[in-house]
Amino acid sequence: MSQILEIEGPTPRQLLARRAAGHPGFLIGTTILSILVLVALAAPLLAPHDPYAQDLTQRLLPPVWAETGTWNHLFGTDALGRDYLSRILHGTRVSLLIGLCAAVGSGIIGAMLGMLAGYYGGRVDNVVTFFISVRLALPVVLVSLAVVSIFGGRLWIVVAILSLLLWDRYAVVVRAATQQLRSREFVTAALAMGASTPRILLGELLPNLAGPLLVVGSLEVGHAILLESALSFLGLGVQPPTPSWGLMVAESKGMIFYDARLIALPGAAIALTVMAINLMGDGLRDILSPGGRA
Amino acid sequence: MTDALMSVRDVSRVFSLGHGPFTRQGHLRALDRVSFDLFPGEVLAVVGESGSGKSTLSRIMLGLDRPSGGEVLLEGKPVETYRRRAFARIVQPVFQDPYSSLNPHKTVRQLIEMPLVIAGEEGKAERLRKVRELLDILRMPTRMLDAYPSQMSGGQRQRVAIARALISRPRIVICDEPTSALDVSVQAQVLNLLMELRATFQLTYIFISHDLSVVEYIADRVAVLQEGKLVELADVGTLFASPRCDYTRQLLESALTIPRVEESMRPPDGPNL
């Protein structure tokens, strides 16, 4: 009798921690991203200057590694004499904030639609699948152009646009996962216990969807950051003088042949952030679904 | 005899097959006018081969599916008149596969207290007390409270599933092949446990199984289903000693003659590749 009463093996969480520790890509991505998050949180403390303060006598100062560079402006200044390092540090806030909010917002929309479609099937599924097709047929940039020209390019409008345009991958993944889960007996058991539909969807199914949601979500953060940069570059996203990386690239594009650092530095920041997020997302997928793809 | 706890009256269930423009319309009669009564305190086994309608019957008795014809009475009233939660207080399921019937993301405590949470009557402390009490009865240590299903063996998981079924003190427990996913040694433990609990909680069991040795061991009466029809319903002694129906006789024979089964499972003779 005694041997059947032993608890075997680690908890699911311990198991995940163990797998995470053995995944270099995930560790690298998570480390870089944690640093970026810290930078974003502490940007006002870290930035040596006010990112909005213009000083036309100090225009286009070279960075510290150039011959005439000074330690006062580590990355030099831009065409309006603003400290470039401060602007890049503050840009981390804008990018991560938009990326995270858009990923969460679209995650809520996509997960809800996906769960309803997967759980009910039939007509509900047809309607949701139709919405997914419609969404896939919408060109993101054109829709953004239209919306921004009507409502203006404030930060929360960019977040709202991205949320409404990036939910399709969540919906597809969640729908498929829910279809698999709903035939499992624990759902039948919950039904037999008299559980309500919201309880089954949120209490029984959602915890089991956390893995795929996390994977899609992390990749979607990177996607949203790239899109925000692209929109800001086109002048459709965050409006000046907010320090957004995409906007900084756009403001300096005339200088590309004279002072390439003005484009290279924010560009590198975008690339580093998105790479870190994708490394983490790919790592999460390997960790959460060792048997196959999420 | 006392009044029936649950009565199944002329229950039929027809599934329609194929909806699309390219599939042929068809019907599958999973249950065909099945009638029987379930009396308080008895163990009624339902046996039959795969596809005989056992699982459809259990779904209907659990209120998860509606019969196409006929009706099910619970304590004399049609099941449709019960609200879901009220019904769940009287009838609870134990499923076949404890790997699938327990949500892998919940701890033992969350799993067992779920019927109480759904009923929403007791506070947290009271629920925990009941869970502990039940674990005690099931001879499971309380340190299991925070374990996840993936950390437990099949027998332990099935105990958790049984605890979950019993926590709201139901009168009827519908066991859908509760031991067929378990090791033989664990099967006996779980069966003995079910029998013990029957006395402790004054339970009535419906025991759906294709394992006739288990049925002989546990049941008071046996109902035999064949292609959706109830072909025989008798006391377990009578049925095993002198089955009236040919189909029952076949079932009994196929279960007892192990050598013949092995013969039929041998691969056919052929060129040796």
Of the candidates A221, A209, A231, A226, the residue with the CA atom closest to the CA atom of residue A289:
A209
* pLDDT recorded at residue A7: 65
Cβ-based contacts of A207 with chain B (< 8 Å)? 103, 105-106
Q: Is A204 on the interface with B (CB under 8 A)?
A: yes
* pLDDT recorded at residue B267: 54
Asked if A4's CB is within 8 angstroms of B102's CB, the reply is: no
Contact B191, B179 (CB under 8 A): yes
CATH number for A25-288: choose from 1.10.760.10, 1.20.210.10, 1.10.3720.10, 3.40.50.10320.
1.10.3720.10
* pLDDT recorded at residue A1: 43
Asked if A7's CB is within 8 angstroms of B143's CB, the reply is: yes
Asked if A208's CB is within 8 angstroms of B103's CB, the reply is: yes
* pLDDT recorded at residue B2: 60
Mean pLDDT of the region B24-29 = 76
A290 pLDDT tier (thresholds 50, 70, 90): low
A78 pLDDT tier (thresholds 50, 70, 90): confident
The rounded distance, in Å, linking the Cα atoms of B189 and B191 is 5
Asked if B105's CB is within 8 angstroms of A208's CB, the reply is: yes
Contact B126, B145 (CB under 8 A): no
For chain A, domain boundaries: 25-288
* pLDDT recorded at residue A73: 74
* pLDDT recorded at residue A105: 93
Q: Within chain B, how many helices (H) and strands (E) appear?
A: 11, 10
Residue A68 reports pLDDT greater than 60: yes
pLDDT tens for B244-267 read: 888 888 877 776 544 444 444 555
- Buried b / exposed e across B79-111, counting CB within 10 Å, b at 16+? beebeebebbbbbbbbbbbbbbbbbebbbbbbb
Which phi and psi angles does B119 have, rounded to 5°?
-65, -30
B269 pLDDT tier (thresholds 50, 70, 90): low
Asked if A210's CB is within 8 angstroms of B85's CB, the reply is: no
Q: Is B164 on the interface with A (CB under 8 A)?
A: yes
Measured between CA atoms, the residue of chain A closest to residue B175 is A189
pLDDT tens for B85-96 read: 888 889 999 988
Cβ-based contacts of A190 with chain B (< 8 Å)? 114
Of the candidates A237, A206, A212, the residue with the CA atom closest to the CA atom of residue A97:
A237
* pLDDT recorded at residue B270: 53
Which candidate from B101, B119, B186 shows the least CB-CB separation from A185? B101
Contact A166, A103 (CB under 8 A): yes
Asked if A199's CB is within 8 angstroms of B118's CB, the reply is: yes
The rounded distance, in Å, linking the Cα atoms of A57 and A133 is 54
pLDDT tens for A202-256 read: 888 888 888 888 888 888 888 888 888 888 888 777 778 888 888 888 888 888 7
Asked if A9's CB is within 8 angstroms of B150's CB, the reply is: yes
Residue A288 reports pLDDT greater than 90: no
The interaxial angle of helices A84-120 and A206-233, nearest 10 deg, is 140
Asked if B103's CB is within 8 angstroms of A192's CB, the reply is: no
Measured between CA atoms, the residue of chain A closest to residue B168 is A193
Residue A293 reports pLDDT greater than 50: no
Which phi and psi angles does A251 have, rounded to 5°?
-65, -25
- Buried b / exposed e across A226-241, counting CB within 10 Å, b at 16+? bbbbbbbbeebbbbee
Contact A75, A265 (CB under 8 A): yes
pLDDT tens for A29-44 read: 899 989 989 988 887 8
- A vs B, Cβ pairs < 8 A, gives 85
Contact B29, B190 (CB under 8 A): no
Which candidate from B64, B86, B147 shows the least CB-CB separation from A191? B64
Among A3-7, A243-247, A281-285, B136-140, the range scoring the smallest mean pLDDT is: A3-7
Contact B118, A195 (CB under 8 A): yes
Q: Is B151 on the interface with A (CB under 8 A)?
A: yes
Q: What is the mean pLDDT of chain A?
A: 84
The rounded distance, in Å, linking the Cα atoms of B158 and B165 is 10
Q: Is B24 on the interface with A (CB under 8 A)?
A: no
Asked if B143's CB is within 8 angstroms of A189's CB, the reply is: no
Which candidate from A7, A10, A186 shows the least CB-CB separation from B152? A7
Which candidate from A11, A189, A191 shows the least CB-CB separation from B151? A11
pLDDT tens for B93-113 read: 998 888 888 888 888 899 998
Residue A257 reports pLDDT greater than 70: yes
pLDDT tens for A122-147 read: 899 999 999 999 999 988 888 888 88
CA distance, residue A207 to nearest chain B CA (Å): 6
Partners of residue B74 on adjacent β-strands = B6, B77
The torsion defined by the Cα of A166, A168, A170 and A176, in degrees rounded to 10, comes to -170
Report B:220-259 residues touching A (Cβ under 8 A). Answer: none
When scoring B103, B113, B139, B160 by the number of chain A Cβ atoms within 10 A, the one with the most, hence best to mutate, is B103
Mean pLDDT of the region B204-209 = 90
Contact B211, B180 (CB under 8 A): yes
B30 pLDDT tier (thresholds 50, 70, 90): confident
The rounded distance, in Å, linking the Cα atoms of A176 and A129 is 11
pLDDT tens for B66-90 read: 888 888 988 888 888 888 888 888 9
Residue A110 reports pLDDT greater than 90: yes
